[in-house]
Chain A
Amino acid sequence: MKTREEIFNSLKQEFPRDVLEFQNVPVEPVITVNPLAINKICHFLRDVEGFEFDTLMCLSGIDDANGEKITEADGTVTIKGGVLSVYYHLYSIKLNHKVTLKVSASRENPEVESVESIWKCADWHEREAYDMFGFIFLHHPDLRRILMPYDWEAGYPLRKDYKNPEFYQGIKIPY
């Protein structure tokens, strides 16, 4: 069993350029890493003795909404720039320890490497993050919408500047 800080130190040694920082935020500290190296790091965390993170508990997207906020003529807000983030909560059944990883990618082109080949359950989680936030998971085998209709064209609902469309398939939405 390792603490989050120990895991960070070993990761930093192994991947000095891709592991960025240890954020000691309340309740659960997170380790920020490079979005294009997350698959390498996760492979390491799963396979190397002493870490053995055999399950991905949760994978969630977040809209940090830290870009420039532009108020439109109709009063709605559009966000330009800034980042979107993905949180990975890993757990090792064998060694009973947890770690939280975080990657941030630009709002305009949120490309993140997929971890689907490491933990199969990431498949649907990543599809959900794509569906709700528009993350592009590179090397994901089947990146389609999952909860929203396949022909939903109004963008990504959980982004903070999401606007409902007027119509969907000829049906008026705001009622």
Chain B
Amino acid sequence: MAFKTEEMILNMGPQHPSTHGVLRLEVELDGELIISVKPHIGYLHRCFEKHCEAMTYPQVIPYTDRMDYLASMYNNFGYVVTMERFLNIQVPERVEYIRVIMGELQRIASHLVALGTYGVDIGAFTPFLYCFRDREKILSLFEMTCGARLLYNYMWIGGLSHDLHPDFIPACKEFLRYFKPNITELNNLLSFNKIFIERTANVGILPAETAINYGVTGPNLRGSGVKYDLRRNDQYSVYDRFDFEIPVGTGANGTLGDCWDRYYVRVREMEESIKIIEQALEQLPEGDINTAIPKRIKPPAGSIYGRVENPKGELGYFIMSDGSTSPYRLKVRGPSFVNMTVFSELCKGHLVADVIAILGSIDIVLGEIDR
């Protein structure tokens, strides 16, 4: 007697801790094997782009904070760099250096959340607490600088909202000294943990060619072995003055481009960020933190597409101006939004338990996917 079988549809989310926000995955299963995954997004849609059309250019900055809320500094950074290119403004050197320091601290903070929560997704709770303990110290540094812990509105067009606090430089150096050995600790706890490797190596393999075609950027692309980082490839700010490496995946524990590679690229990027911050603190010039810009910012009628290397990938701003004081159209190309498109492709043929492992390795933030 033959049993009748049919595929099962499983809804994961929108309220599910390992979807990192409000994301619904419609998973089609054959037993435990995944046939297809359909992500449904939009639960956190806050009409960012429509709002911007009613704001003046500087008023957009606080809204950018709220997209990728784990990397607010870098969202500010991307927007102001694009606007400065649009207006053809040169900012003082000190501003550039402070922006780089803040941006790299933010990269470490964002990666710490990514790595910590990835551990939780896989079943390791302890590293999560260690990561958040360290992230807390970075947030304190930001609080010292601009008074806010998560949503900063710190970088302004042509400058910054505040200069560094007098205690910032020693506090930052102290943090780096404290944080360096913690990466080794994290590696011992999680990265080279046998159970963790079993769960992540050879899972969700992303070949470089597929990654490029899907527009995947950031640590996910580098995990597939492509040495591509906008800090080097599409130079902005003062990143050309620092000596740092671009870590890429090697397939050390499995196949090139698997979840473990993507995870480990993030760990190594934190080390590189520390290098950048140390050099920036060393070279930090004295000077003004604001340039003279017109009170009413009016870019020429035209458009620009500017992009920076956000902790999660390429963050692009497409700004169109009609010559007035508010953007005619502003579109954000969020790295998570584009990285998420490859997700269904990665899941095919894996087990249902791997969905979580793959989703965590892509490191998405729903605030930016939905905007």
Interface residues of A (CB under 8 A from B): 25-28, 30, 54-58, 60, 62-63, 87, 89, 93, 96, 98, 100, 119-121, 123-125, 132, 145-149, 157-158
Q: B90 — which chain A residues lie within 8 A by C-beta?
A: none
B338 within 8 A of A: yes
Question: Are A121 and B47 touching (Cβ within 8 A)?
Answer: no
User: 5 shortest A-B CB distances, which residue pairs?
Assistant: A121-B215, A26-B302, A60-B331, A26-B300, A25-B302
Q: B333 — which chain A residues lie within 8 A by C-beta?
A: 57-58
Question: Are B300 and A57 touching (Cβ within 8 A)?
Answer: no
Task: Determine how close the nearest CB of chain B comes to the CB of A64; give it in whole angstroms.
Answer: 9
**Would you list which residues of chain B between 154 and 178 have a CB under 8 Å from chain A?**
none
A-binding segment of B186-194, B273-281, B312-320? B312-320
How many A-B contacts if CB must be within 8 Å? Answer: 93
Interface residues of B (CB under 8 A from A): 41-42, 45, 47, 49-50, 85-86, 212-216, 226, 228, 233, 299-305, 307, 314, 316, 318, 320, 328-329, 331, 333, 337-338, 340-342, 345, 370-371
Q: 20 A-B residue contacts at CB 8 Å?
A: A28-B303, A28-B304, A30-B303, A54-B212, A57-B307, A57-B314, A58-B331, A60-B331, A62-B328, A119-B213, A120-B215, A121-B214, A121-B215, A121-B216, A124-B337, A124-B338, A125-B338, A132-B49, A146-B42, A157-B47
Q: With A25-B303, A28-B305, A148-B45 known to touch, is A123 a contact of B371 (CB < 8 Å)?
A: no
Question: Are A93 and B341 touching (Cβ within 8 A)?
Answer: no
Please report the C-alpha to C-alpha distance between residue A100 and residue B341 in the assembled complex, in whole angstroms. Answer: 22
Instruction: From B228, B233, B329, give the contact of A62 (CB < 8 A).
Output: B329
Please report the C-alpha to C-alpha distance between residue A57 and residue B22 in the assembled complex, in whole angstroms. Answer: 25
Q: With A27-B303, A28-B302, A30-B303 known to touch, is A57 a contact of B41 (CB < 8 Å)?
A: no
Q: A132 — which chain B residues lie within 8 A by C-beta?
A: 49
Question: Are B316 and A58 touching (Cβ within 8 A)?
Answer: yes
Question: Are B302 and A119 touching (Cβ within 8 A)?
Answer: no
Q: B213 — which chain A residues lie within 8 A by C-beta?
A: 54-55, 119-121
With most chain B CB atoms within 10 A of its CB, the pick from A57, A145, A147 is A147
Question: Are B212 and A55 touching (Cβ within 8 A)?
Answer: yes
Q: A30 — which chain B residues lie within 8 A by C-beta?
A: 303
Question: Are B337 and A27 touching (Cβ within 8 A)?
Answer: no
Q: B85 — which chain A residues lie within 8 A by C-beta?
A: 27
Task: Determine how close the nearest CB of chain B comes to the CB of A58; give it in whole angstroms.
Answer: 4
Question: Are A158 and B314 touching (Cβ within 8 A)?
Answer: no
Question: Are A26 and B341 touching (Cβ within 8 A)?
Answer: no
Q: B233 — which chain A residues lie within 8 A by C-beta?
A: 93, 96
Please report the C-alpha to C-alpha distance between residue A162 and residue B269 in the assembled complex, in whole angstroms. Answer: 44
Q: With A27-B86, A87-B318, A149-B42 known to touch, is A121 a contact of B338 (CB < 8 Å)?
A: yes
Q: Which residue of B lies closest to A30 (CB)?
A: B303
Q: With A58-B318, A60-B331, A147-B370 known to touch, is A120 a contact of B302 (CB < 8 Å)?
A: no
Q: With A28-B304, A56-B215, A89-B305 known to touch, is A123 a contact of B341 (CB < 8 Å)?
A: yes
Task: Determine how close the nearest CB of chain B comes to the CB of A3; give it in whole angstroms.
Answer: 16
Task: Determine how close the nearest CB of chain A comes to the CB of B309; give it in whole angstroms.
Answer: 13
Instruction: From A63, A87, A147, A158, give the contact of B41 (CB < 8 A).
Output: A147
Question: Are A58 and B305 touching (Cβ within 8 A)?
Answer: yes
Q: With A54-B213, A121-B215, A148-B42 known to touch, is A25 a contact of B301 (CB < 8 Å)?
A: yes
Q: A146 — which chain B residues lie within 8 A by C-beta?
A: 41-42
Question: Are A89 and B318 touching (Cβ within 8 A)?
Answer: yes
Q: Which residue of A lies closest to B88 (CB)?
A: A27
Q: A57 — which chain B residues lie within 8 A by C-beta?
A: 215, 305, 307, 314, 316, 333
Please report the C-alpha to C-alpha distance between residue A7 and residue B36 in the assembled complex, in whole angstroms. Answer: 39
Instruction: From A89, A119, A124, A158, give the contact of B49 (CB < 8 A).
Output: A158
Please report the C-alpha to C-alpha distance between residue A26 and residue B86 in the assembled complex, in whole angstroms. Answer: 9
Q: A26 — which chain B residues lie within 8 A by C-beta?
A: 299-302
